[in-house]
Amino acid sequence: MKTIYFNKFYKSFNILSGILIIASLVFLVFKGLNFGVDFKGGTLIELRTDKSSANITKIRDSFNQMNLGDVSVKNFGNETDFVVKFEKQNSNDPQFIEQIKTKLSNSIGSVDFRRVENVGPKVSAELLRSGVIAIALSLAAMLLYIWIRFEWQFSLGAILALFHDVIITLGVFSVFSLEINLSIVAAVLTIVGYSMNDTVVIFDRVRENLRKYADVKIFELTNISINETLSRTIITSVTTLLALLSIFIFGGEILKGFSLAMILGVIFGTYSSIYIANPVLVSLKVSQRTIVKEEKE
């Protein structure tokens, strides 16, 4: 196969990544994330109307009359399905949901509540905390693993690549106000695993090549390693993306956010293994001595 000179573009793509990361951070800080009821508390109702005459405006109007705080109404999948979210949660009142249903039936005709989620402020705060801890813990565990398996230069490269993927994926969610819920946390963790996986495959090859060629500069060496593992990188990304696209298109509305986050993560993860992890090795001037020294110790 023809050699592709990935290393020619290290600089330009690093600048691009830098811009993307800064932009993501700006969005995350100033616009923030669109937390769902899992993390913000409140009530979510997925409802199906039997008439197509019900539209978002009508549904929003009838909910607004019920004094439930901020109400958001969105179409969910097909045109008779809607998701309504509002701040108020009153799960202690057993009639709360029933009353909403009755009032709604009076104004827009018969409705079917397909899903009701009601999360109190205490629980949502806990879920948010455990979500953050889970992500932090998995990053730490990855760091530990790769620190045991590789030299510190490699660990740094892999971890920077991880942060790159997680930050940009969250950045995209912030830009498009996509909802962050429990399944997104699961997706982010899986992205962390996948991105690591991808980086490790290239790094293993870099290390093997470092042993083999004493006189090749790391700049060239990373390119050789990327090329040698390229067909694997492409095939695995393609099969994973095929599976994820299938979930995204056919898996129903509930899994849309999850599979989208994963798709983004796989794309960024593949890109970062090449353009973040490897340039780190280059700028840290990794050479045969780096690994030989470690192995002697």
Among positions 193-212, residues that touch another protein (CB under 8 A) are 193-194, 196-198, 200-201, 204-205
DSSP label at residue 2: P
Comparing C-alpha atoms, which of 83, 73, 101, 102 is closest to residue 254?
83
Comparing C-alpha atoms, which of 18, 22, 35 is closest to residue 174?
35
User: Applying CB under 8 A, what is the total number of residues that bind another protein?
Assistant: 71
Evaluate whether 191 touches 259 at the Cβ level (below 8 Å).
no
Establish if 114 lies at the interface with another protein (CB under 8 A). yes
249 φ, ψ to 5°?
-85, -45
Q: Return d(Cα 153, Cα 71) in angstroms, integer.
A: 50
128 φ, ψ to 5°?
-65, -45
Closest to another protein by CB, 24 vs 118, is: 118
Residues 118-157 binding another protein (CB under 8 A) are 118-120, 122-123, 127, 130-131, 133-134, 137-138, 141-142, 145, 149
Q: Return d(Cα 135, Cα 132) in angstroms, integer.
A: 5
Residues 222-281 binding another protein (CB under 8 A) are 228-229, 231-232, 235-236, 238-247, 249-252, 254-255, 258-259, 262
Closest to another protein by CB, 29 vs 242, is: 242
**x/- letters, 67..106, toward another protein (CB under 8 A):** ------------------------xx-xx-xx--------
Residues 24-53 binding another protein (CB under 8 A) are 46, 48
